[in-house]
Structure 1
Amino acid sequence: MNYFSKAIFALALAGIGFPQLQAQEVTETNQQDFNEFTNRAGNMYRAASGKPGPEYWQNEADYDIDVTLDDENHTITGSITVEYTNNSPQELDFIWMYLEQNRFTETSRGTLTTPIQGNRYNGDIDGGYEISNLEARMKRSTSSEYMINDTRMQVFFDEPIPAKGGKATVSMDFTYKIPVEGMDRMGRLEVEDGTIYAMAQWFPQVAVFDDIEGWNVEPYLGAGEFYYDYGTFDYKVTAPWDHIVVGSGELQNPRQVLSREVRERMEAASKSDTTVYLVRPEEVNDPSIRAKQEGTLTWHFKIENSRDVAFGSSKAFIWDAAKIDLPSGKKAMAQSAYPKESAGEEAWSRSTEYSKASVEHYSEKWFEYPWPVAVNVAAEIGGMEYPGLNFCGWKSEGASLWGVTDHEFGHNWFPMIVGTNERRYAWMDEGFNTFINHYSTLEFNDGEYPSRLNQTRRMTGWFSNPNREGIDTYPDVANLQNLGMIAYYKPAIGLLLLREYVLGEERFDRAFKSYIHTWAYKHPQPTDFFNHMENVAGENLSWFWKGWFYGTGNIDLAIDNVQSYQGNYVITLSNRGEIPMPAVLQVTYEDGTEETVRLPVEIWQRGDSWNHLLRTDKQVQSVVLDPEKILPDVNFSNDAWPTSFYQE
């Protein structure tokens, strides 16, 4: 059809016989929905392509820690030395450190901002750090000056740490009482055979100094999690002789802390695809299985290129393990530690099976797991992740245990490998992780357990709630009733829409893998993610980021009418929601054949109504929007023509 004919045809569509089609031509466009919603220009540190810039930098903190666990007084006492490397372009007169255990005091900001009725982030109020013998050394000078404010400590140097590679060390002694209630992230649990200590946020740790905020010093309140630099952690835990200690990283001294029998079983587990007991249920109280029968044992662990470490310790642990196969041919080990109350084939006796499957899936699909062990520890904690180690609910079983185990191990990719700022951007770790959990769940035993992301339309009630908040709401500010959606499910649904509906699997996977590889062990910001996905996928997605991640609008596409015209059909669509989306139509003909029509998102740039000419000589029986039911469309009753045909 030549240009003149096209023009005549367009005028005909707008004629008297089709008054509903006149909306095709509008005087006011929707271009504002497609404009850039924030400044995403690059600079020398972060490129507009979503990659680290030519002068990108981040600092490094390496830790040497030695602590003793007192299971009678429930205390941790020890010492720490941090070697800090200042790779920034400016010298530093001081550093900020986090003292997370100070959250567990009566006057902490976290305690004082917890509602009277309590919430998930309840914590003890009789704890907190005692700090002594602090030394901040820079070359030949030593300072003991520091200031503690709530969960932060400012450490001063007598001379500044030089820029671009200058090094300094900070050492101190510390002690505190281990809380029972540790804000559902750490603490202790009494079971029949002893106490389970779930140890996290258990040592003073350096805050992040970056090119975006300078020092990131938001206090530890509750919902907001963590943001740390990468480094090497070399740590020793001295515990009673009858304790089993499991931790982030590789055990450095197995001959000193494990009996010959346990070492032989561990060797067998390192070659086994099925679970091997290291300490059997009937051996939990058997002294002969321990390396010694009195005093204490010092367990030595080390992990490199990590942003944190955690450990579990108890004399009540059943302990089992199996081999993890990695794509490069390397091996790692899945381990589980749990009390007899948690054992059972429908419960924690499958934990190592779940752990192995989870880590192998993410390694194959996205990025290879970098650490030597992946440990799952049963505790009085719903679920919490640290590099190479999780704490999961000791009463979890079946689909619940798979779900929490898979979710917490998924966090090794977000934010442990891709080091985002959890305290500000919960959606960049919880949401991204919930998204990758969807595919691991579909794959595990060919879908033994269901994925909630298969049911996005069942969540649309929240999208119509007048009290809903945006994904970009900081977690410590968010209404806790919204946190599950804005941190976990809404961002995960957003990535699902990009992969399954907007970009397609091939384009999305290439861009998402590139993002992970590009920002592994680095600190991306939201704009780095947006820019990188667009540059690799080759798509301007400003309309999507703005509508889905930085707003509270909804999706509501509609089929207004289907009419015959000159031997063809005109399908009239409208965007009745606030977020434009491509339109995928399934056309069914009277002869039983079907056709899929895909209309780009740009149909909404010129207005909220669009007419599509369907060229066919067949009789149309029905037209359905989004036939795979991927979109969380808040009014799917208008997604079909005729309306009597639609079935949810």
Structure 2
Amino acid sequence: MFAIADHYVWQASSLVVDPTTKRRTRVDAAYNPKHKDFEEVVQFNRKTVEAMSYTFPKWPFPYSHETVFDGLDQMEYPMMVNDNPVSTRDDAITLTDHEVFHTMFPFYMGTNETKYGWMDEGWATIGEWIISGIIKPGFQDEYGVEPYARGSAQEFDVPITTLSTLQNGSAFFLNSYPKPALGYLYIKDLLGDELFTKALHTYIQNWHGKHPMPYDFFYSMNAGAGQNLNWFWQRWFFDDGYPDLAITGVNKTDAGYNVVVAAKGTKPVPVDLAVTFADGKTEIVHRTVAVWQTSNTVTVPVATKQPIAKVTLGSTYVPDKHKADNVWESK
């Protein structure tokens, strides 16, 4: 892939991507100076390559350069991105880091994005979610989460592992972007950053450039984590179902309260509770998807001497099909 212009600005920089070998990667942007949103793109590119090397997936950027070209599309290529101008700084951030992240998935790994879009776009989506907040601290990019909540349990909501060539429209979007990204995010949450990184590196080390299939990913993650995660892979990637949690009770105890949460859907999602007390203070309580491995209800103890005024269930990266039962208020 190449691009030519006789009137573009070219900005270039470089950074050390491998602290062991001191290997550097050149990052650059070539753009029409009329497109002001591109003025920061070289920095967004640089910060993305840096984050990929040192934070997520924490693997030294594997190539000698990465170029973002001001073009007519939103498309990734090996070591080059062809991006059209966008209207906001946030859009420029998310578009840049998403497309640059594809350098690892599918290109470095060599996955078949035509058949398994979730092994390609799903990783670029979680990369976008994580790295956008690094480029712009405090920014929460929630691309695709609410569309999945609305689209889940509809006729087009087929399992992620359905061949991408058999999908189109909403099915392809949900199964290639938000659904697999959420699955990766939930396993990261379950394992913790250190063990997740070890598991992901096992997959990358064993399979980069070898065109891994879906089962190569699942088995590598299990081996790297030293855990059998098949219960989650089965329910999130292979089965039908939808995400739907509900607060079914808030009961007084000697130590405070027990908040009872039920899984009305079969897709395991984290439990995030915002507990507001009578004095106006709020406590955030989190449980990983592990609570749903063997049960469809979970009791969350809240130690307090204050009466609870309100409990709200849910957070940015937890889609929920029916939200009406996600709030409990004291009578």
Give the TM-score of the pair, scaled to structure 2: 0.82
Task: Looking at secondary structure, tell me which structure has more helix per residue.
Answer: 2
| Cα deviation code 1:283-342 (max 9, x no counterpart) | xxxxxxxxxxxxxxxxxxxxxxxxxxx22234454433222332422222223333xxx3
1:633 maps to 2:326 = no
| Greater mean deviation of Cα atoms: 488-497 or 514-523 | 514-523
In structure 2, relative to structure 1, the CA distance for the partners of 1:373 and 1:446 (3 Å cut) is: same
Contact 1:589/1:618 (<8 A) preserved: no
Deviation at 1:625, TM superposition (A): 6.3
The residue that corresponds to 1:152 in the other structure is none
Q: What amino acid is aligned across from residue 326 of structure 1 in structure 2? A: V
1:443 maps to 2:134 = yes
Structure 1 CA distance, aligned partners of 2:206 and 2:239?
28
1:411 maps to 2:102 = yes
In structure 2, relative to structure 1, the CA distance for the partners of 1:587 and 1:539 (3 Å cut) is: farther
Q: What amino acid is aligned across from residue 478 of structure 1 in structure 2? A: Q
1:421 maps to 2:112 = yes
Contact 1:534/1:540 (<8 A) preserved: yes
Contact 1:583/1:625 (<8 A) preserved: no
Q: What amino acid is aligned across from residue 517 of structure 1 in structure 2? A: Q
Deviation at 1:566, TM superposition (A): 7.4
Q: Secondary structure at the match of 2:167?
A: coil
In structure 2, relative to structure 1, the CA distance for the partners of 1:604 and 1:476 (3 Å cut) is: closer
Structure 2 CA distance, aligned partners of 1:565 and 1:400?
48
Task: Looking at secondary structure, tell me which structure has more strand per residue.
Answer: 1
Match of residue 149, structure 2, among 432, 436, 460: 460
Write the mapping of 1:338-487 to structure 2, written as runs, cut at 5 A. 338=31, 342-344=32-34, 346-365=36-55, 366-380=58-72, 382-393=73-84, 398-446=89-137, 451-453=141-143, 456-457=145-146, 459-487=148-176
Structure 2 CA distance, aligned partners of 1:603 and 1:476?
32
Q: Secondary structure at the match of 1:390?
A: strand
Q: What amino acid is aligned across from residue 68 of structure 2 in structure 1? A: N
Structure 1 CA distance, aligned partners of 2:247 and 2:238?
27
Structure 2 CA distance, aligned partners of 1:523 and 1:602?
34
| Cα deviation code 1:546-605 (max 9, x no counterpart) | 222223411212221233467875544422112244645555665758584748745663
Structure 1 CA distance, aligned partners of 2:83 and 2:38?
10
In structure 2, relative to structure 1, the CA distance for the partners of 1:580 and 1:375 (3 Å cut) is: closer
Q: Secondary structure at the match of 2:166?
A: coil
1:330 maps to 2:23 = yes
Deviation at 1:368, TM superposition (A): 1.1
Structure 2 CA distance, aligned partners of 1:599 and 1:318?
47
In structure 2, relative to structure 1, the CA distance for the partners of 1:522 and 1:499 (3 Å cut) is: same
Structure 2 CA distance, aligned partners of 1:604 and 1:488?
24
The residue that corresponds to 1:495 in the other structure is 184
Higher Cα Rg, which structure: 1
Q: Secondary structure at the match of 1:641?
A: strand
The residue that corresponds to 2:3 in the other structure is 312
Q: What amino acid is aligned across from residue 408 of structure 1 in structure 2? A: E
Structure 2 CA distance, aligned partners of 1:527 and 1:465?
27
Alignment RMSD (CA, Å): 3.3
Structure 2 CA distance, aligned partners of 1:568 and 1:354?
47
Contact 2:118/2:175 (<8 A) preserved: yes
How many residues matched?
Answer: 326
1:559 maps to 2:250 = no
Deviation at 1:487, TM superposition (A): 0.8
Structure 1 CA distance, aligned partners of 2:13 and 2:29?
9
Q: What amino acid is aligned across from residue 198 of structure 2 in structure 1? A: R
Contact 1:583/1:601 (<8 A) preserved: no
Q: Secondary structure at the match of 2:223?
A: helix
Q: Secondary structure at the match of 2:3?
A: strand
| Cα deviation code 1:232-285 (max 9, x no counterpart) | xxxxxxxxxxxxxxxxxxxxxxxxxxxxxxxxxxxxxxxxxxxxxxxxxxxxxx
Structure 1 CA distance, aligned partners of 2:149 and 2:169?
18
| Cα deviation code 1:87-128 (max 9, x no counterpart) | xxxxxxxxxxxxxxxxxxxxxxxxxxxxxxxxxxxxxxxxxx
Identity level (%): 28
In structure 2, relative to structure 1, the CA distance for the partners of 1:599 and 1:640 (3 Å cut) is: farther
The residue that corresponds to 1:513 in the other structure is 201
Match of residue 233, structure 2, among 545, 548, 555: 545
Q: Secondary structure at the match of 1:332?
A: strand
Deviation at 1:428, TM superposition (A): 0.4
Q: Secondary structure at the match of 1:577?
A: coil
Deviation at 1:378, TM superposition (A): 2.5
Give the TM-score of the pair, scaled to structure 1: 0.45
Contact 2:186/2:269 (<8 A) preserved: no
| Cα deviation code 1:165-187 (max 9, x no counterpart) | xxxxxxxxxxxxxxxxxxxxxxx
Write the mapping of 1:13-92 to structure 2, written as runs, cut at 5 A. none
Q: Secondary structure at the match of 1:531?
A: helix
Structure 2 CA distance, aligned partners of 1:597 and 1:354?
31
In structure 2, relative to structure 1, the CA distance for the partners of 1:615 and 1:621 (3 Å cut) is: closer
Unaligned runs of 5+ in 2: none
Structure 2 CA distance, aligned partners of 1:633 and 1:613?
19
| Cα deviation code 1:172-224 (max 9, x no counterpart) | xxxxxxxxxxxxxxxxxxxxxxxxxxxxxxxxxxxxxxxxxxxxxxxxxxxxx
Unaligned runs of 5+ in 1: 1-309
In structure 2, relative to structure 1, the CA distance for the partners of 1:579 and 1:348 (3 Å cut) is: closer
Structure 2 CA distance, aligned partners of 1:371 and 1:491?
26
Contact 1:562/1:572 (<8 A) preserved: yes
In structure 2, relative to structure 1, the CA distance for the partners of 1:312 and 1:630 (3 Å cut) is: closer
